[in-house]
Structure 1
Amino acid sequence: MRQSLFTRFRGGIAATFFLSMSLQAMCQPVAINIVDVAGDLQLTQKGFEAFKAKYPNLVSNITYTNAPAPQLPGKIKAMQAAGRSDIDLVLTGTDALAAGIEQKLWIRLLPDNGTAFPGALDKYAPGPRKMQDLAQGFGLEVAYMPAGPLIEYNPAKVSDPPRTPDQLLQWCKAHPNKLIYARPANSGPGRTFLMGLPYVLGDKDPKDPTNGWDKTWAFLRQLNDCIPYYPGGTSAVMKELGEGTRDMTVTVTGWDINPRALGIVPADFRVQAFDNMTWVNDAHYMVIPKGVPKEKLDVIYKLMNFMLEPAQQAMTYDDGYFYPGPAIKGVTVEQATAHSQEVLKKYGRPEYAKLLADRPHVLPLSAEAMVAAFQKWDREVGSQKNR
């Protein structure tokens, strides 16, 4: 009997010890690897760092990596096939979001893990709430921008900016190599221009790039003849515009304000909207690749909720990069930092308020349609420069 009791006592101690060790392991802070394919860290990195500072018991370190949107889905797919999870959270625009949904790369957050995000959908303002639907539950929107399309130009070189696509085409033909825009699959302004044209041109179905964009594809093929090449990202476009190599490009509100605030593009450069423009709105999302371990998921879910709090959302006003920025209700520019307020006062456009109020707004293409549009543009427009 003594031996039996001793054995049980010893076994109980062992079980308690291993349970304690397991709980301790579960409670260890985790390192989180965030990959940004949208330039979103400019808006959110301070928020992520605030989470790390507030919860040192949850997060030991956060690493940040920037990557091109078109390459990310293939990289994640290869990692998942190898049973690895090197990326814990992705910050993406509608481009890689769409590609990842199509290739089934992301964890479905809502409604599958709805208890981890109580009331999240109710936090969004009306415009951002519609953009959240594009994620199909696979991501949470973290920043919002009524984007464009807009034309940006050097007023010293362009005295009469185009107000219609036909005027843009005629200007381009008269000034070859002076108009440029980036590949839509890796450029917010590029894809906003691509998705906005069917509305301006009156195509039969602006939501169907395969069968409904006859006028758009014909226009882009004509425009192709006077464009020198298509950079892989918007930053290269703005650099050439600012240096004077090009006189005109397509843009969106944030890519107009921010490069001028940073001194990349001269402050006096101007924008022009098409006469009958429709705003194609844009957003940034937080998505999680499949394969992230459970002990990290619980922390990442908490982090995502944290980023939807007013204090972190106010940070997204930043330097106008994704103007205005906040996605949730009730966050005003008065809650932004003094620096952000000063930048927007100096480099913002008074005419945006009227344009945003007067012109209609639409969602970008669905994930499947957006991928189809990118592929068709690459095949029928961009690739022609290599022939």
Structure 2
Amino acid sequence: MKTSTFAAARGRFHRARAVVAVALCAVAGFVHAQNVTVNVVDVGGALALLQDAIENYKSKNPNVKFTFTKAPAPELPGKLKAMQAAGRADIDLVLGGLDILSAGIEQSLWVRVLPDQAARFPGVIGNYLPEAAKMQELARDQALAVVFMPAGPLLEYNPDKVKQPPTTPAELLAWCKANPNKLIYARPANSGPGRAFLMGLPYLLGDKDPKDPVNGWAKTWAYLKDLNSCIEYYPGGTAATMREFGEGSRDMTVSVTGWDINPRALGVVPKNYKIAAFKDFTWVNDTQYMMVPKGLAAEKQGVVFDVMAHLLQPAQQALTYDKGYFYPGPAVKNVPLSMAPKESQDVIREFGRAEYAEWIANRPHAQPLDSQSLVKALRKWDEEVGAQKTK
């Protein structure tokens, strides 16, 4: 009897110790099963900034493999909804901006990250840059900010065609009407510069409530409908906009810091093209987030969270300076340009703008719309502004 009792107790002890060990590994982020494949969907282009950091993760964790696909923000929520209804989990990590984040929150597609997984991300909120921490608030605990940009709204123009860039929305409208079809911007639902322009106008026009697109943007909607009269069409994404702009068929476009620097660095837009800011403008900041769809097995979910924690480490954040695509890039504090690879430093020095530091320091910053308001604003733009002209 004593032997039996002792054996049972020893068995309980070992089982308990095993449970504690597993729990400790999970908290530390060391849940690494054999031959796990993490399927990543890139919605907003953040993969370009994070690819090297992911490669670093793979080198340390050779049993974890990755697949990468791209998807437009308007189409992904329906796909995720269908997968979840069917009990499938073919997408493990989504990288994207407020458009896909907001749509996913509205449809309850994302796993709650905080505070549920706080042990995997110790001090994450305190580690963010102040403005990035403000952007994190929009995630409603269902995502983590991974890169940050004080976006716009800015105007980019061909100096050979535009001798005096507009400094107010009224001047932009007058220029557009005097130069029909020479201004272009993309559908805001799938374009960071388009959204920055859309959300920045209420501040510039003195609308009643910049945070209420339905009841507080009377001046903005009237302005956009008027501007619509001299715009030929709205491309489905920013890349198409920059191609036409760079090729010379358009003379001006709305822009943000990253979409100004990166296309010039890549040669899509001529290096000598200029940037202009509206007088007394307010920055509408932008962020790319990491989101985990519901339905993942616990083992897979643990690996995905470990990848996310890796991407927020300062050494990996330094890689997000990249070629200026999401300038400056890092979302966390104490990651100066000097930590970035030499290639990134060279690109920023050659294609960056001296005025950005002054504007970022001296102009006010605002959060974008929250998820529900953004969905309403994008829907209203689609229905009332771009309905007949979006391609």
State the TM-score, normalized to the length of structure 1: 0.92
The answer on 1:240 being equivalent to 2:275 is no
TM-superposed CA distance for 1:122, in Å, is 1.7
The answer on 1:299 being equivalent to 2:303 is yes
TM-superposed CA distance for 1:167, in Å, is 0.4
The residue aligned with 1:319 is 323
The alignment's C-alpha RMSD in Å is 1.8
The residue aligned with 1:94 is 98
Counterpart of 1:308, as a letter, is L
Contact 2:264 2:271 in 1 (8 A): yes
Partner-residue secondary structure (3-state), 2:268: coil
TM-superposed CA distance for 1:121, in Å, is 1.4
TM-superposed CA distance for 1:125, in Å, is 1.4
The answer on 1:37 being equivalent to 2:43 is yes
Which deviates the most, 25-34 or 319-328? Answer: 25-34
Distance 1:256 1:385 in 2: 24
Partner-residue secondary structure (3-state), 2:113: coil
TM-superposed CA distance for 1:102, in Å, is 0.7
TM-superposed CA distance for 1:26, in Å, is 8.0
Counterpart of 2:301, as a letter, is L
Match of 1:167 among 154, 171, 175: 171
TM-superposed CA distance for 1:54, in Å, is 0.4
The residue aligned with 1:120 is 124
- Deviation track 1:43-71 (CA, whole Å, cap 9, x = no partner) reads 001111111110124x1x10011111111
Distance 1:380 1:81 in 2: 32
The answer on 1:344 being equivalent to 2:344 is no
- The equivalences for 1:21-36 within 5 A come to 27-36=33-42
The residue aligned with 2:67 is 63
The residue aligned with 1:198 is 202
Partner-residue secondary structure (3-state), 2:210: coil
The residue aligned with 1:373 is 377
Which deviates the most, 114-123 or 46-55? Answer: 114-123
Distance 1:333 1:177 in 2: 39
- Deviation track 1:130-182 (CA, whole Å, cap 9, x = no partner) reads 11111110001110000000000000000010000000000000000000000
The residue aligned with 2:364 is 360
Contact 2:320 2:330 in 1 (8 A): yes
Aligned residues: 366
Contact 2:149 2:326 in 1 (8 A): yes
Match of 1:251 among 255, 274, 277: 255
State the TM-score, normalized to the length of structure 2: 0.91
Contact 2:145 2:287 in 1 (8 A): yes
Partner-residue secondary structure (3-state), 1:70: coil
Partner-residue secondary structure (3-state), 1:112: coil
Counterpart of 1:299, as a letter, is V
Contact 2:41 2:69 in 1 (8 A): yes
Partner-residue secondary structure (3-state), 2:389: helix
Partner-residue secondary structure (3-state), 2:209: coil
The residue aligned with 1:137 is 141
TM-superposed CA distance for 1:120, in Å, is 1.5
Distance 1:291 1:360 in 2: 40
Distance 1:167 1:103 in 2: 40
Q: Please, which runs of 5 or more residues in structure 2 have no aligned partner?
A: 5-10, 23-30
Counterpart of 1:54, as a letter, is K
